[in-house]
Amino acid sequence: MSAQREMKEKKPWHTPLTIIITVIGVIAIVALVTVAVLQNRPVPQKYKYGIVLDAGSSHTALYIYEWPAEKDNNTGRVEQKHSCKVKGKGISSYAAEPEKAGTSLIDCMREAELQVPTKRHRETPLYLGATAGMRLLKIEDSAASDKVFQAVEQTLQRSPFYYQGARILTGQEEGAFGWVTVNYLDDRLKQGLETTGALDLGGASTQISFVSRNYDISESPSNSVTFRLYGNDYNLYTHSFLCYGKDQVLKKALAHQTQSGPTKVQDPCFHPGYSVKRDYASLYDSPCVSDMKPKGAPSEFTHIGEGNFSQCQEVVKSLFNFTACTYSRCSFDGVFQPPLQGPFGAFSAYYFVMNFLNLTDTSFPLETVKKNLANYCATPWNELKQRHLGRVKEKYLAEYCFSGTYILTLLTEGYNFTKEKFSDIKFIKEIKGSDAGWTLGYMLNLTNMIPAEAPDSPPLPHAGYVSIVTVIAILLFILLILCLRSIWPRCSKQQQIV
């Protein structure tokens, strides 16, 4: 009997009660961890979608955005799922046959129907925003602009999506939403980091938007937009220059060189050996140049290239007015601009052009960039065609020298990016797979997806929470075992004595 008791005291571990407690302990811990994991496991993702059509002056593009259904308010979660380039020109080019503006969108709308799951169609908001091309058409022929919108609306209303309207964005909205897009995608807003300025170069207008500390917004209220995003206040400076998109500036440069109504124009911004017949009527067909049309000009002129970068720069410079300024400081054409500040992202045509010219690396000195561009401009047209035609559209190829010169002039002389500041610019196409442009910012704003105040977030991420629960459970279990091992003999002894 005493030997048996001694055995039990030495190995209390093997008593049925200990085994039962251990099994219950293990089951409890497994259950606790399982519940913690299941409760906090990210449920299979359901997505929401939003569609924005960017009706630009040169073309229309459709963007589909996607975000996890339960996390509307979290930053950095909306991503571009798909984009579709509408075939043909921008909707403003259909002024004479407005119904075609509507039908031009059909193919991309079909693509969108396939991209967004059918059961989400009815709840997916669909917006169309038009920019400088439609602004110019509205100035030129307001009735034609209305007809284009009617045609576009007809197509969009027929789609299965939740159509929210088509309208012309103001230049201020276009600039500000481009800035929101860039900073949202870079996760700068929620974290309250220094923001990135946005430079957008379109076909008909160009936008500059940045936050400049300590500048007096009351000096030019029309250039300021204030935001409260995730608990941070932003005073944004923004300006949109109508007629300073690269297509309209090219018209202005050619208009400047054809003021005497010549039949031949020697253009330093085009390559040696380039020679194309152009007609006066289509050169002067936009409100940006219509009042410059020379009287008694012939019907056409021959556009001849000379390939001289510095002369081209002089032509381009002459298109800006650097003298008129009623503010403390101006960029050009009497427009207020506070001191440049912070890094900048330059997208759209800034990227297309500088990428083709291999000039996106701004760590090179500005002088080197200019020298490379000068070499490129001097390259004979035939040589370039041999090198690139087939892969690059002839119209784009012919214009890169002019466009590159315009970009450098606009940045350095227009906005005053000095040789030190030039390296603050990054030429970008997209950020984390989403295109840089105003469309994402526009949708985030209209769907109220960026809150004014910072949302409360759980103190621990899911993985951290599960790990801590598991560690605590294991520690408790070990403690229980240790307790059992040290106390049990005494307990059982006491039981026996009793």
* Residue 57 or 313 having the CB closest to ligand GTP: 57
Question: 490-495 long-range CB contacts below 8 Å, 24 or more apart?
Answer: 492/8, 492/9, 492/12, 492/15, 493/9
Q: How far is the CB of 379 from Ca ion (least distance, A)?
A: 29
For Ca ion, give the closer residue by CB, 309 or 351.
351
- Encoded one letter per residue, x for contact with ligand GTP by CB under 6 A and - for no contact, window 78-97 reads ------------x-------
Q: Give the interface segment with ligand GTP, choosing from 29-37, 199-207, 299-307, 381-389 (CB under 6 A).
A: 199-207
Of residues 116 and 168, the one with the C-beta less far from ligand GTP = 168
Count of Cβ atoms closer than 10 Å to residue 42 Cβ? 9
Per-residue contact flags (x/-) with ligand GTP for residues 204 to 223, judged by CB under 6 A = xx------------------
495 is in an annotated binding site: no
Amino acid identity, position 121 = H
Total residues binding ligand GTP (CB under 6 A): 20
Binding to ligand GTP by residue 252, rule CB under 6 A? no
Closest to ligand GTP by CB, 58 vs 313, is 58
Residue 347 contacts residue 436 (beta carbons within 8 Å): yes
- Only one of the segments 22-30, 55-63, 258-266, 412-420 lies at the binding site for Ca ion (rule: CB under 5 A); that segment is 55-63
Q: Are 201 and 348 in contact (CB under 8 A)?
A: yes
Q: Establish if 236 lies at the interface with ligand GTP (CB under 6 A).
A: no
Going by the DSSP 8-state scheme, the letter that residue 412 receives in this structure is I
Coil/strand/helix, residue 208: strand
CB of residue 62 vs ligand GTP: minimum separation in angstroms? 13
The rounded distance, in Å, linking the Cα atoms of 373 and 433 is 29
N-to-C CA span, the chain: 16
* Among Ca ion, ligand GTP, none, residue 66 binds (CB under 5-8 Å by kind): none
DSSP SS3 for 372: helix
Least CB distance from residue 206 to ligand GTP, whole Å?
7
Residues 184-203 that bind Ca ion (CB under 5 A): 202
Distance in Å, CB of 189 to ligand GTP, minimum: 23
Annotation-wise, does 297 bind a ligand? no
One residue of 51, 95, 108, 132 binding ligand GTP per CB under 6 A? 132
Classify residue 119 by burial, with Cβ atoms within 10 Å: 0-12, 13-18, 19+.
exposed
List 66, 123, 153, 174, catalytic entry: 174
Give the distance, in angstroms, between the CA of residue 153 and the centroid of all CA atoms in the same chain: 25
> CA angle, 48 as apex, 43 and 54 as ends, to 5°?
150
**Phi, psi dihedral angles at 491 (to 5 degrees):** -55, -50
In the complex, minimum distance from the CB of residue 48 to Ca ion, in angstroms, rounded to a whole number: 25
Beta bridge partners of 85: 61
Q: Binders of ligand GTP among 396-455, rule CB under 6 A?
A: 396
Selection from 299, 295, 166, 183 nearest residue 232 by Cα: 183
- Residue 379 assigned as binding residue: no
123 is catalytic: no
**Rounded distance between C-alpha atoms, residue 498 and residue 496, angstroms:** 5
Question: Which listed option, ligand GTP, Ca ion, none, makes contact with residue 352 (CB within 5 to 8 Å by class)?
Answer: ligand GTP
Q: Which H, E and C letters describe 64-77, residue by residue?
A: EEEEECCCCCCCCC
For ligand GTP, the closer CB: 124 or 248: 248
The nearer residue to Ca ion, 129 or 307, going by C-beta atoms, is 129
* Maximum Cα–Cα distance across the chain: 130
Q: Rounded CA gap, 13 and 21, in Å?
A: 10
Of residues 125 and 202, the one with the C-beta less far from Ca ion: 202
Placement of tokens 């919108």 in the chain:
149
| Ordered alpha helix ranges (H), 51-131 | 99-103, 106-115
Short-list 293, 291, 297, 292, CA closest to 261: 297
According to CB under 6 A, which residues from 346 to 405 bind ligand GTP? 348-349, 352, 356, 396
- Which of 129, 202, 307, 404 binds ligand GTP (CB under 6 A)? It is 202
207 labeled binding residue: yes
| 378 labeled part of a ligand binding site | no
The one of ligand GTP, Ca ion, none whose footprint includes residue 345, by CB under 5 to 8 A per kind, is none
Are 436 and 170 in contact by the 8 Å Cβ rule? The answer is no
290 φ, ψ to 5°? -55, -35
Q: Are strands 125-130 and 79-85 parallel, antiparallel or unpaired?
A: unpaired
For 153-189, letters b (16+ CB in 10 Å) and e give eebbeebebebbebebbebbbbbbbbbbbbbbbbebb
338 contact choice in ligand GTP, Ca ion, none (CB below 5 to 8 Å, kind-dependent):
none
Q: Is 133 in the site for ligand GTP (CB under 6 A)?
A: yes
Q: Which of residues 14-73 bind ligand GTP (CB under 6 A)?
A: 56-59
Q: Which of 12, 56, 305, 338 binds Ca ion (CB under 5 A)?
A: 56
Nearer of residues 80 and 220 to Ca ion, judged by Cβ: 80
Residues that bind ligand GTP (CB under 6 A): 56-59, 90, 131-133, 202-205, 245-247, 348-349, 352, 356, 396
Which residues line the annotated binding site? 203-207
Residues that bind Ca ion (CB under 5 A): 56, 202
Q: What positions carry a catalytic annotation?
A: 174
Which residues line the annotated binding site for ATP? 203-207
